[in-house]
Amino acid sequence: MIERKDGQDPRVDDERPAKPVADVIVARDVHKWFGQLHVLRGINLTVRAGEVVVIFGASGSGKSTFIRTINRLEEHQRGQIIVDGIELSDDIRNIAAVRREIGMVFQQFNLFPHLTALQNVTLAPVRVRGWSRDKADQAAMGILERVGIPEQAHKYPAQLSGGQQQRVAIARALAMQPKIMLFDEPTSALDPEMISEVLDVMRELAESGMTMICVTHEMGFARAVANRMVYFDEGLIVEEGPPEQIFGSPQQARTRQFLSQILH
């Protein structure tokens, strides 16, 4: 399985990347077990700075688990994950350093319900980056404006719609000025009429040059924004390539079958 990947992607080789800045995420032969269940069975993936990668696949295929290993919400048990030149290990300083580079957006938003939208956004810059309250507030208002909800700054999450909550969650991640953004099915918990407001923010973010990995089934978004699409099945990358290839002429039978199920 690894040979196949190596043959396909010349950027994955056995030496450390010469310029870690260019390859901001390098995953080599990543394995993960939940008890007896082998959920990641040797994932190889390299993401360059500014690239937008969309990961798709059936539920249980390991795609969420994989992006959660990138900021160590899940621990990988074999293989290597290198983020911006820092290899993830048990060392909490490495984990902290990696998490400072990565922002994450969750399916269930996971906003802090006891804090206002603004406080949600400023918490980490103040406590982790050590910014002054004024500086953090100013930056946060700028970001809330960017995601289109500055007027909701002083509301609590429970007073916001799902789409607004997810945009606050994106603002919260952006406030840490990450180099990489991870999106774990960001629109799956939203009512249909709210999906586009979140996708618009993500599209704008991609156009600004942010490095993004998105687990999503929004194929319209993938076709328009992704540089590369990656199909996961049973803990493996079955196929990857630009959207034109995935939608136009998928190489693998399993990819074709999955796409035919979700694109009616």
Which residues contact other proteins (rule: CB under 8 A)? 71-73, 96, 99-100, 102-104, 106, 108, 110-114, 123-124, 127-128, 156-159, 172-173, 176
Q: By C-beta, is 64 or 255 nearer to other proteins?
A: 64
Q: What sections of 128-209 are H helices per DSSP?
A: 133-146, 162-174, 192-207
The CB-of-95 to other proteins minimum distance in angstroms stands at: 9
Q: How far is CA 203 from the centre of its chain?
A: 13
The CB-of-11 to other proteins minimum distance in angstroms stands at: 27
Beta partners for 164?
A: none
Q: By C-beta, is 173 or 222 nearer to other proteins?
A: 173
Tell me the backbone φ, ψ of residue 81, rounded to 5 degrees.
-130, 120
The CB-of-50 to other proteins minimum distance in angstroms stands at: 21
Q: By C-beta, is 28 or 100 nearer to other proteins?
A: 100
Q: Give the integer Cα–Cα distance in Å for 233 and 43.
A: 11
The CB-of-114 to other proteins minimum distance in angstroms stands at: 5
Q: Give the integer Cα–Cα distance in Å for 32 and 42.
A: 8
Q: By C-beta, is 126 or 259 nearer to other proteins?
A: 126
Write the DSSP assignment of 109-143 as a string of letters.
----TTS-HHHHHHHHHHHTS---HHHHHHHHHHH
